[in-house]
């Protein structure tokens, strides 16, 4: 089996939606600890819009040929016009973040999802890294959120910690048909990401990623 990473095309929207349905967050899943993502509702039209306007990568398996994972990052232009940025006023920002953050061109890591199969989940870290690398070619900083309640998304935390995201604040929201959702907000600046790549712990990972063709 070979898994390749590539930019998504509009025709991948339905496959991405199907993966999301496998991972959709529901209150009855509140004790679950599934790897691969906890995704709130997103429609086919919204995924197609992401593909057209933002950065979307998919992981595609060759046997059988199918999309088994995806990652979505909203670029600054989309983020600036979105309700997501408007909700930033609801975030309880850390004082150190408010006083120290000055990036003007930033993006948001919207979603990461892999089919719940161990054979595919191992590629989630490469998918997350590849899209982070790609967005930092054009942006100064990257934000993301990690679910804390009704349960903790432990799968995302490992990537957050290894790559060097820093805690920036917390947001407490209520979603229709889901209820109360609390998430921590993290941010990563480009210079910190690039500096982190020089650390010994990344050498084997980067070598493997290059060998697999996931980065130049």
- pLDDT (tens digit per residue) in 6-23: 999 999 999 999 998 887
Residue 54 is predicted with a pLDDT of 97
| 65 pLDDT higher than 70 | yes
Per residue in 146-179, pLDDT (tens digit) is 988 877 777 788 888 888 899 999 998 877 766 7
Find out whether 107 and 74 touch, Cβ atoms under 8 Å. yes
pLDDT score of 37: 45
CB 177 within 8 A of CB 143: no
Structural contact between residues 193 and 140, judged by C-beta atoms closer than 8 angstroms: no
Specify the DSSP class assigned to residue 2. -
Whole-number average pLDDT of the chain: 87
For tokens 């804390």, the residue is 148
Distance CA 125, CA 155 (A): 10
Task: Provide the pLDDT for residue 41.
Answer: 64
The pLDDT, as a whole number, for residue 142 is 97
Question: For 37-61, what is each residue's pLDDT tens digit?
Answer: 446 668 999 999 999 999 999 999 9
Is the Cβ–Cβ distance between 130 and 164 less than 8 Å? Answer: no
pLDDT of residue 27: 44
Residue 137 pLDDT grade (very low, low, confident, very high; cuts 50, 70, 90): very high
Q: What is the pTM of this model?
A: 0.89
pLDDT at 36: 38
Mean pLDDT of 183-187: 94
Q: For the CA atoms of 136, 114, 179, 82, what is the dihedral angle to 10 degrees?
A: 30
Q: How many whole angstroms separate alpha carbon 69 and alpha carbon 93?
A: 31
CA-nearest of 183, 188, 182 to 159 is 188
The fold for domain 3-211 equals Aminopeptidase (3.40.630)
Mean pLDDT of 30-37: 40
Sheet holding 141-149, edge to edge: 3-7, 55-62, 65-74, 106-114, 141-149, 179-189, 166-175, 92-93
User: To which residue do tokens 């935390």 refer?
Assistant: 157
């Amino acid at each position: 089996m070979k898994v390749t990473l590539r930019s998504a095309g509009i025709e991948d929207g339905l496959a991405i939606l199907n993966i999301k349905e496998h991972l959709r967050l529901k209150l009855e899943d509140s004790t679950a600890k599934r790897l691969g993502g906890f995704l709130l509702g997103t429609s086919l039209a919204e995924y197609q819009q992401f593909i057209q306007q933002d950065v979307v990568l998919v992981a595609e398996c060759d046997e059988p040929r199918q999309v088994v994972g995806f990652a979505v990052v909203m670029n600054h232009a989309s983020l600036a016009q979105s309700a997501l940025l408007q909700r930033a006023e609801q975030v309880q920002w850390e004082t150190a973040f408010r006083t120290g953050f000055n990036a003007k061109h930033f993006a948001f890591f919207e979603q990461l999802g892999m089919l719940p199969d161990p054979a595919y989940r191992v590629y989630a870290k490469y998918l997350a890294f590849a899209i982070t690398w790609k967005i930092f070619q054009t942006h100064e900083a990257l934000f993301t959120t990690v679910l804390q309640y009704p349960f903790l998304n432990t799968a995302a935390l490992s990537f957050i910690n290894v790559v060097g995201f820093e805690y920036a604040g917390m947001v407490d929201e209520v979603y229709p048909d889901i209820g109360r959702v609390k998430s921590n907000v993290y941010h990563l600046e480009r210079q910190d990401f690039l500096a982190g790549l020089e650390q010994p712990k990344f050498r084997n990972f980067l070598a493997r990623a290059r060998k697999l063709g996931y980065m130049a």
